[in-house]
Chain A
Amino acid sequence: MDNESIMHLLKHPHTFNEGYNQLVDTYTSALYWTIRRLVVTHEDAQDVLQNVWIKVYTGLPNMKGDASSLKAWLYKICINESLNWLKKKRSSIFTSIDDVNEQLLQAVPEEIFCSEEDISVRFQKAVLALPHKQKIVFNLRYYEELSYQQISEITGQSVNTLKTGYHYAVEAIKAKLEIKNE
């Protein structure tokens, strides 16, 4: 079901729950993977996803915007919840969120179904090693194929900053993969 039809159902109190159920069917998988790429472990992703759906359900009646902004709104909640989760994982409040990357990289071997030398694992490790802002832009652009305008709505950063961030992220990932290949 498309966003237009879902929004139509959500606008009327008697079809609200049906609209919400359609929203869940449409976006659960995409949101799960967006979270999983940021928090790495399945258990954490599961918990964050539950929090996301609670926020979505309670926030939908007050949501401002139309069908075109629904996707960006969902991803915004998803990214914020994931970042909050990662902030809680820091060893102290003085630790930067980027310092959590090391913890996340250590969790990778337990979470994969193939060899650590597999190109897809090396790719994920290279993404995880990126600073958080670049990682978010990269994930939303590369995997979710969102436009820079939509990513701008989610992160609040300007389109030019996002383009630069994505470019640096791609270069950093390529560099990590090529060093390993040499």
Chain B
Amino acid sequence: MSNTAFNTIGKTMPYKVPANYMQQACEQAKLLTGRVVTRSAGVWWKVTAGVAVAAIVAVLCFHWGKPDPMEQYQNYIARLSAEDLANMCNDVEYMEESMYY
């Protein structure tokens, strides 16, 4: 096969292409000029909203997670035995006495 024949023989493409496809492909590609900007703006909006929600949740968890001091004290007293309480009262009496004398 000569080079001239070879250089022309394969240039005809036998593949089917839908009518007007190239025009449609151009129009589709051009739509990106609007979509990519909108999409990136959308992403930033979602990221900002996500960070804000995460911050609010973190603050609320921190607040709710903190034990109430009064409740903590009551639980502590409830766990003490009668003997512990008696000792505590003696300690208080001793402290009071040492303050006055």
Given the complex of chains A and B, what is the CA–CA distance between A121 and B33 in angstroms?
Answer: 38
Q: Is the CB of A111 within 8 A of B16?
A: yes
How many A-B pairs have beta carbons closer than 8 Å: the answer is 78
| Interchain CB contact (< 8 A) of A178 among B1, B21, B25, B28 | B1
Of the 9-residue stretches A52-60, A90-98, A146-154, which lies at the interface with chain B? A52-60
Which residues of chain A come closer than 8 Å to B10, judged between CB atoms?
A: 120, 123-124, 127, 142, 173
**Chain A: minimal CB distance from B28 (Å):** 7
Nearest B residue to A52, CB-CB: B29
Contact among B11, B14, B22 for A114, CB-based, below 8 A: B14
Q: Interface 1/0s, chain B 23-45, versus A by CB < 8 A?
A: 00110111011001000000000
Asked if B18 is at the interface (CB within 8 A of a chain A CB), the reply is: yes
**Would A53 and B32 count as touching, CB distance under 8 A?**
yes
Q: Are B22 and A123 in contact (CB under 8 A)?
A: no
Interface string of A7-22 (1 = CB under 8 A from B): 0000000000100110
Cα–Cα, bound, A127→B36 (Å): 36
Closest chain A residue to B11, Cβ basis: A143
Residues of B within 8 A of A89 (CB): none
| Shortest CB distance B18–A (Å) | 7
Taking chain B's interface residues, is the majority helix, strand, or loop, or is none over half, making it mixed?
A: helix
Given contacts A111-B15, A112-B15, A112-B16, contact A177 B29 (CB under 8 A): no
Establish whether residues A57 and B32, one from each chain, have CB atoms under 8 Å apart when the complex forms. Answer: yes
User: Across the interface, do B16 and A50 meet the contact criterion of CB distance under 8 Å?
Assistant: no
Is the C-beta of B6 less than 8 angstroms from some C-beta in chain A? Answer: yes
Contacts of A85 in B (CB 8 A): none
Among A21, A49, A58, A143, which residue has its beta carbon within 8 angstroms of that of B25?
A49
Q: How far is the CB of B40 from chain A (nearest CB, A)?
A: 9
Find out whether the CB atom of B32 lies under 8 angstroms from the CB atom of A54.
yes
Contact partner, A113, options B9, B11, B16, B29, Cβ 8 Å: B16
Proximity bits, A79-106, B CB within 8 Å = 1, else 0: 0000000000000000000000000000
A28 pairs with B29, CB closer than 8 A: yes
A114 cross-chain contacts in B, Cβ below 8 A: 14
Q: How far is the CB of A43 from chain B (nearest CB, A)?
A: 10
- Are the CB atoms of A119 and B9 closer together than 8 Å? yes
- Please tell me if the beta carbons of A28 and B26 are within 8 angstroms of each other in the complex: yes
Q: Does B13 contact A (CB under 8 A)?
A: yes
Shortest distance between the CB of A44 and any CB in chain B (Å): 12
Residue B81 interfacial (CB < 8 Å): no
Can you name 13 extra interface pairs (CB under 8 A) apart from A46-B25, A177-B9?
Answer: A20-B30, A24-B30, A28-B25, A32-B25, A37-B13, A40-B15, A42-B17, A42-B18, A42-B21, A53-B32, A57-B32, A57-B36, A124-B13
